[in-house]
Amino acid sequence: MFDIRPLTPTIGAEVHGLDLRRDLDESCHVALADALHEHQVLFFRDQRITAHRQRDVAAGFGTLQHFPFGEPAAPDLPEVMVLATGGEGPKISNADIWHSDATFLARPPLGTMLRAVSLPPSGGDTLWADMESAYLSLSAPMRAMLDGLTAEHDFAKSRSHRGGDKDALPPVVHPVVRTHPVTGRRCLYLNRIFTTRILELKERENELLLPFLFDQATRPEHQVRFTWRSGDIALWDNRSTQHYATYDYQGPRVMHRIVIEGDEPR
């Protein structure tokens, strides 16, 4: 029904031969979900769809989340968040720091669907990193030490989220290494934006170990890089990846993001 073309040996694949303007049956969604679990990030080129259609496609992968930060694309589209960056004024987003979305939630997103609405003439690539490969590339003694540890995640650490309600979103604790609920694969589950400390370690130990683990995502062998064109869509598994939005462009960049509800990391 469509063709999957991997972009690297471990992460990222383009989906060819699929027009998202057309209704997708259950078997198609199952096949796409299988491809997502295998490749972790799927790219759909040149999809000329509306925000309403994007919502309907994303809903085939799970319950959609009303994200607590950002503005909706329309009053009847609370699930579709507008990401508008660039243009005049200072940069305020911290999307150009490696992270997984919303790990400050008790049940962080399963995944995210992002659609390019309006792009600058050049720049603005997004990179994704495979946290399974990042985990497996560690030595066996290091993996053994990390297994069973837990870390605190706090939205207040992020300068982009400090306007939120701290009482409604207290810090949460997740495993340092989580098990993917579908594939059973083990993945590093820390990120520089939201992870504050590993609970079982002393302060000095955190100061030394956390930067090293954060930097695992920056190794090129774990990554795929995507250059956007208008109408392109990326769908990624937030449980096993981190991503980084390159802020190297002049002029406005508008994206529509949809977040799919996830489960409690274990």
107 is catalytic: no
99 is catalytic: yes
Q: Which two tokens stand for residue 68?
A: 């607590």
- The bridge status of strand 3-6 relative to strand 80-85 is unpaired
CA–CA separation, 102 vs 241, rounded Å?
Answer: 12
The residues that bridge with 13 in the sheet, in sequence order, are 6, 42
Find the catalytic residue in 161, 178, 192, 243.
Answer: 243
CA–CA separation, 36 vs 237, rounded Å?
Answer: 7
Cα torsion 99, 266, 213, 234 to 10°: value is -30
Find the catalytic residue in 39, 55, 101, 115.
Answer: 101
CA–CA separation, 60 vs 62, rounded Å?
Answer: 6
197 is catalytic: no
Cβ(73)–Cβ(82) under 8 Å? yes
Find the catalytic residue in 99, 115, 239, 253.
Answer: 99
The residues that bridge with 48 in the sheet, in sequence order, are none
φ, ψ of residue 32 in degrees (nearest 5): -65, -40
222 is catalytic: no
- Helix intervals (H) in 159-256: 203-215
Residues annotated as catalytic (active site), given as ranges: 99, 101, 243, 257
